Amino acid sequence: MSDNSNTFTWIAVFAIIAAVVNGLGILIIFKNSKWAEKAKTYFMCFAAGVLISTPLMLALPQAIQKNFYAGFFALLGFLFMFFSNELIRRLTKKEVLAFGIVAAEGIGIHSFIDGIIYTVTFSISILTGFLAASGLVIHEFAEGIITYTLFLKGGVKKTTAMLYAFLVAGCTTPLGAFVAYPLVNRLNQSSLGLMLGFVAGVLIYISASHLLPEARGEEKKHSELAFLTGVGLSLFIVLSKLL
């Protein structure tokens, strides 16, 4: 792992930006709910394009290069997200208040994992971390809106919902990054490859099974263009570094 202090700086910067963007999404829907609901779809589609490209082009190949079994851990990461989301989905069939609270708990866990992803990807390389973190930061805007809305559906007052949404969806990302850093920093390259494989599976799930279906369910005009823009940006950045 090269230049630990530089790596930690990048992790800290993106983790804090994620929290700020999340809070911005909450604030905007609080002030202007119509615009926020409309923009949310495009943010999710763009983020999905970045997050599906990064593991397939960069993170997973790098992980397998470090450890042959990283592909199995990618599958494990995908299945972990699949079953954890299924559990949350089943629990949220309860009454309205339970729906808001349990769904928010799921988002909190998800955001905590986002923070861990920042730490793992930046520990591999600045380029891998930058691409993964950029997609995750962009989707934080939509996640802030969603979390705030869930608390409102649960009967929480608007100002209280703002605070709860930021604590659950915003603050948990830097918390995950800072908790994971001293642990990931001790891993050798082979173990780091397995961890990156797991993260690649998580990223693929977030994009293909979480962001895209939810965004396409809104049927917004030009949402496909937002998705392809995310893919195109990732391609441009990766190829400009590799060629």
Percent of the chain with pLDDT over 70: 86
Lowest mean pLDDT among 119-133, 139-153, 223-237: 139-153
Structure tokens at 89: 């989905």
Domain boundaries, the chain: 4-236
- The token duo for 203 is 């990223």
> Which has more pLDDT, 152 or 231?
231
Give the C-alpha separation, 17 to 188, whole Å: 28
> For the whole model, what pTM was predicted?
0.73
> Per residue in 72-84, pLDDT tens?
999 999 998 888 7
What tokens does 48 get?
Answer: 């999905």
φ, ψ at 157 (rounded to 5°): -65, 155
Average pLDDT, the chain: 81
Mean pLDDT of all residues in 226-242:
80
Question: How high is the pLDDT of residue 96?
Answer: 47
Percent of the chain with pLDDT over 90: 15
* Residue 172 φ then ψ, to 5°: -70, -25
Q: What is the Cα 238 distance to its own chain's centre? A: 19
Measure the CA–CA gap between 165 and 107, rounded to whole angstroms: 10
Tokens coding 70: 């990283």
CA–CA gap between residue 233 and residue 61 (Å, rounded): 19
Residue 117 confidence class, pLDDT cut points 50, 70, 90: confident
Answer yes or no: are the C-beta atoms of 123 and 189 closer than 8 Å.
no
Q: Please report which confidence band the pLDDT of residue 92 belongs to, taking 50, 70 and 90 as the band edges.
A: low
Q: How confident is the model at residue 1 (pLDDT cuts 50, 70, 90)?
A: very low
Gap between the Cα atoms of 60 and 123, Å rounded? 14
Which residue in 119, 128, 132, 124 sits closest to 1, CA to CA? 124
What distance in Å separates the CA atoms of residue 124 and residue 178, rounded to the nearest whole number? 16
pLDDT digit string, tens, across residues 145-186? 878 877 776 677 888 888 988 998 889 989 989 998 988 888
Between CA 127 and CA 169 the distance in angstroms is: 25
